[in-house]
Chain A
Amino acid sequence: MRRVVITGLGVFASTGRNVEEFFGNLTEGRSAVRRIRQFDPSELTVQIAAEIPDYNPADYFPQKRLDLIDRFSEFALIAAREAMQSSGIEVRDEERPRFGVVTGSGLGGVHTYDNGYFNLYAKQVTKLHPFTIPRSMHNAAASQICMEYGALGPSLATSTACSSSNHAIGEAFHRIKFGLADIMLAGGSDAPITFGTMRCWESVRVLASGNGDPSRACRPFSADREGLVLGEGAAILLLEELEHARRRGARIYAELAGYGMSSDAAHITQPTVEGPARAVRMALEEAQLNPEDIDYINAHGTGTRLNDATETRVIKEVFKDRARRVPVSSTKSMHGHVMGATGAIELVATVMVLDRGVIPPTANYTQPDPECDLDCVPNEARPARVRAALSNSFAFGGLNAVLLVRKFQ
């Protein structure tokens, strides 16, 4: 059986513009949530988000390129560059048909839609900009990355809300494992911080308000948690077939060993316990590991009342006696919920946990909740020898995706 390893990491997030800065801030427990600056949020009920601070697209792209790409594609391209650079890979021409890209995005080019529809409905223009479609389509990020690196192989985009990038990485993983590709860039990006998107999420009543103290707004697993905080960013990982990586003497960060996916088929927003639990079990089975082998779980941990309590039950359902002994942290407490990018961002964090032997905390934890009685690594990073870890994504719509990484041996 072909094995798949992770040989490149790239992240562009509110908590860091590269992997080192990102993981450094996570282990310091530093939240990037702040008052929204991309527009004046004064009219909103919820005025906070995890934005990328001082982001200037012109630092990364020539103007001609920027005309054609939405913010969510910019983030994906920047993360892909770091992934490619950190891998040291040079893809040869004859390898390109087996080099593909899979990206996840929940919302796609929502900035482009937002501007276009504002012009159409509010300003009543009669024509929209001809780049509206090529900028906003969900596959724009994947296509832009393909063009930048000449990836000619199996490429697609996934959109499964909060699970989008876990599905993207899982699908890319299976392309390699089952012999359809050798090299895949996979991950996700989202840039959901617009006035319109904030209003949409406000209406679901799952956002933490916390306008007065933004950095403490997101408190996953804590008894006083009030909801999730939206974030923006991207992460892309380079996946490679093991022998391919070995031949070129690549640095192997971790082995991607399991991918579980399932559907709740129950409710469009409320998660079940059984659906996510099946996804976790599937990931363990594919990796041929038991709950005892898992030393860390990067939780979906959104910080909503319902998610965190349900996720606790999921972990108990699968892990039984071990459930309360395995460290489970939610890094969303710091980088926010990055929608379709969140799984990829959290997988980068999880790979770094294996690599560095430090578990980032669940920040802003104030008091235990009997419904979330797990070891959620409150507030302080913890040194730990982690052999294998899970990263959970349980989406609105009940489409679950769980990834399992382990130390490469």
Chain B
Amino acid sequence: MDVEQKVVEIIAREQHLDPSAVKLDSTFAELGIDSLDGVNILFALEEEFKIDIPDAVAQNMKSVRQVVDSLTRVIEGKDISDLVEMAKGGTAATSN
């Protein structure tokens, strides 16, 4: 399974963008992805890959590359405690 290709496909689908507009180096800001859109994309990714993305990791996903890297590690069952650590002190994914 090509994680990168699938991530791009899902981001494009959820944002109603042409897949060619979603690059590995695109940031969420560049793609017009706000906090609520981000939550929506995470939901779609979790459904697609049948995984749980911890909130702490989710908060750190601000670019396509970060999503692909984090997701790959979650899928491969690798230790993600550094990502969780990194997220501490970060802002919540949504407000209210």
Alpha-carbon distance between A127 and B15 when the two chains are bound, in angstroms = 20
Chain A residues, Cβ within 8 Å of B15: 64
Instruction: Determine whether the beta carbon of A67 is less than 8 Å from that of B43.
Output: no
Q: Does B27 contact A (CB under 8 A)?
A: no
Chain A residues, Cβ within 8 Å of B78: none
Instruction: Determine whether the beta carbon of B40 is less than 8 Å from that of A131.
Output: yes
Q: Report, as a range, how many residues of chain B touch the other chain.
A: 10 to 19
Q: Does A269 contact B (CB under 8 A)?
A: no
**Would you call the interface of chain B mostly helix, strand, loop, or mixed?**
helix
Most chain-B CB neighbours within 10 Å: which of A64, A127, A130?
Answer: A130
Instruction: Determine whether the beta carbon of A127 is less than 8 Å from that of B46.
Output: yes
**A residues engaging B (CB < 8 A)?**
62-64, 67-68, 127, 129-131, 134
Chain A residues, Cβ within 8 Å of B36: 68, 130-131, 134
6 extra A-B contacts, CB within 8 A, seeds A127-B47, A130-B36: A63-B16, A64-B16, A67-B40, A129-B40, A129-B43, A131-B36
Within 30-63 of B, Cβ neighbours of A (below 8 Å) are at 36, 39-40, 42-43, 46-47
Instruction: Determine whether the beta carbon of B40 is less than 8 Å from that of A130.
Output: yes
Chain A residues, Cβ within 8 Å of B43: 127, 129-130
Alpha-carbon distance between A236 and B39 when the two chains are bound, in angstroms = 32
Alpha-carbon distance between A131 and B34 when the two chains are bound, in angstroms = 13
Alpha-carbon distance between A134 and B36 when the two chains are bound, in angstroms = 10
Alpha-carbon distance between A67 and B39 when the two chains are bound, in angstroms = 13
Chain B residues, Cβ within 8 Å of A131: 36, 40
20 A-B pairs within 8 Å (CB atoms) are namely: A62-B16, A63-B16, A64-B15, A64-B16, A67-B14, A67-B40, A68-B36, A127-B43, A127-B46, A127-B47, A129-B40, A129-B43, A130-B36, A130-B39, A130-B40, A130-B42, A130-B43, A131-B36, A131-B40, A134-B36
Report B52-95 CB contacts with A as 1/0, cut-off 8 Å: 00000000000000000000000000000000000000000000
Chain B nearest CB from A314 CB (Å) reads 42
Alpha-carbon distance between A67 and B14 when the two chains are bound, in angstroms = 9
Chain B residue at smallest Cβ distance from A128: B43
Chain A residue at smallest Cβ distance from B14: A67
Chain B residues, Cβ within 8 Å of A62: 16
Chain B residue at smallest Cβ distance from A126: B52
Chain B nearest CB from A62 CB (Å) reads 7
Chain A residues, Cβ within 8 Å of B14: 67
Chain A residues, Cβ within 8 Å of B47: 127
Alpha-carbon distance between A130 and B53 when the two chains are bound, in angstroms = 14
